[in-house]
Amino acid sequence: MVNELCLDILGASFTITTDEDEAYLEKIFTQYKAAVINTQNISGIKEPLNIAILTGFLLCDEFNKIKQKLDEEREANDNLQKSDDWEEQEVEERTTRLIAKLEQALNLFNNDKSL
């Protein structure tokens, strides 16, 4: 389904057409407007184009910091999984050796018993 969203911000008005959900588009636009207001408040910039550029830059910065954090968490999880895999393999190898020793002992015991 094709949706249109009318954007009216910083003195500019235009319409975008997309297949995204209307509620999602409204949510994104509301977030962008809040980011623009925040940029205006923290920077004191009055020029709409400069506000829009700085807002875009700040949003990209935030996006990349979140992405970097997720990548670091994913890497930590991968390392933890590798550690878990190694420990599991170590336990399996030790268990196999223990079973082999028990079988040897039982064979010796059974051989001594039959004598």
Per-residue pLDDT band at 112 (split at 50, 70, 90):
low
Amino acid letter for position 63: F
Domain ranges of the chain: 3-114
- The DSSP string of the chain is --EEEEEEETTEEEEEEESS-HHHHHHHHHHHHHHHHHHHHHH----HHHHHHHHHHHHHHHHHHHHHHHHHHHHHHHHHHHHHHHHHHHHHHHHHHHHHHHHHHHHHHHHHHH-
Q: What is the pLDDT of residue 37?
A: 95
Phi first, then psi, for residue 91 (nearest 5°) are -65, -40
What's the pLDDT tens digit per position in 84-109?
777 888 888 888 888 888 888 887 77
What's the pLDDT tens digit per position in 2-56?
888 898 999 999 898 989 888 999 999 999 999 999 999 999 999 999 999 999 9
Per-residue pLDDT band at 114 (split at 50, 70, 90):
low
CA 94 to chain centre: 36
* Prediction pTM value: 0.61
